[in-house]
Amino acid sequence: MGILLVEDEPNVVSVIKRGLTEYGFEISVAGNGATGLQMALDNDFDLVILDVMLPVMDGIQVCKLIRQQKQTMPIIMLTALDSTENIVSGLDSGADDYLVKPFKIAELAARLRTLLRRKGGEALVKNNVFTINDLELNTESKIAYRNNEALKLTATEFRLLEYFVKNQKKVLSRIQILESVWDIDFNMGTNVVDVYVNYLRKKLEKNGAPKLIHTVFGMGYIMKEDERDENTK
């Protein structure tokens, strides 16, 4: 179902909706607290972004009422009020996280991904977003993240990563990879696949992150989380 944004300021709605859409999120909007509460209770949203200062019913009330009926729904509160009392009040009402305005869309997107991962491993299911472990790849925005940090990939590295992510748990031969990523339909004896896999591994495994691309001896490569298979490394 995606994300419910409960916010009454049109400019803020526009910025958040446009920014989060670029990160691959699907956004629905409610312009006041009462409408937001009804939408949250009537639909199966993955997460709610809830402003504190809302017409009809404030965000604190909305959060408490959502939490009474949907205990596991992630909720992040937005507010211009940054005092400790206000933050504590928001968290005590049942919010999972609290972000003070103004904020950067990248930070909001990172917090959303963290909350969605905490939700029992449930991910936002969209055709243009693929995940494995803490890696996320958005085929629409052409951005990949590892542990909420954007990876600096060349166009070729992104195509290679996209091919691996879309074919998780499949052993891919070098010929298959050449045909799909480089559009080469025969083996020229080139080691370009191995070179680029090494480039990609270095970026994916930066700062000791778990290995995702494994070599299958005599066969090619596989992307998977479990590296205990004796035929891979």
Calculate ∠ Cα 18-159-174, nearest 5°: 160
| Residue 61: strand, helix, or coil | helix
3 pLDDT more than 90: yes
> Can you give the pLDDT at residue 98?
87
Q: How many CB atoms lie within 10 A of CB 154?
A: 12
> Can you give the pLDDT at residue 25?
85
Quick check: bond before 74 cis, omega within 30?
A: no
Q: Would you report the helix, strand and coil content of the chain in percent, each value rounded to 5?
A: 40, 20, 40
15 pLDDT more than 90: yes
**Using one digit for the tens of pLDDT, what is the confidence trace for 26-60?**
899 999 999 999 999 999 898 999 999 999 999 99
Q: How large is the average pLDDT for residues 164-175?
A: 91
**Using one digit for the tens of pLDDT, what is the confidence trace for 90-105?**
788 888 888 888 898 9
Which of these ranges, 72-86, 116-130, 174-188, 219-233, has the smallest mean pLDDT? 116-130
- The rounded mean pLDDT for the chain is 85
- 119 vs 39: which has the higher pLDDT: 39
User: pLDDT class for 163, splitting at 50, 70, 90?
Assistant: very high
Beta-strand runs (E) in the chain: 3-6, 27-30, 47-51, 75-79, 97-100, 129-132, 135-138, 143-146, 149-150, 213-216, 220-223
61 pLDDT more than 90: yes
Distance CA 116, CA 127 (A): 17
Q: Are strands 27-30 and 47-51 parallel, antiparallel or unpaired?
A: unpaired
Closest by Cα among 156, 147, 159 to 204: 147
17 pLDDT more than 60: yes
> Can you give the pLDDT at residue 232?
55
Q: How large is the average pLDDT for residues 63-67?
A: 93
User: pLDDT class for 110, splitting at 50, 70, 90?
Assistant: confident
User: pLDDT class for 124, splitting at 50, 70, 90?
Assistant: very low
Q: How large is the average pLDDT for residues 113-126?
A: 59
Q: How large is the average pLDDT for residues 130-151?
A: 88
Q: Are strands 75-79 and 27-30 parallel, antiparallel or unpaired?
A: unpaired
**pTM higher than 0.75:** no
> Can you give the pLDDT at residue 118?
67
> What does DSSP assign to residue 180?
I
> Can you give the pLDDT at residue 231?
53
**Using one digit for the tens of pLDDT, what is the confidence trace for 188-223?**
556 889 999 999 999 999 888 899 999 999 999 999
Cα torsion 56, 62, 65, 66: sign:
positive
User: Which amino acid would we find at residue 98?
Assistant: Y
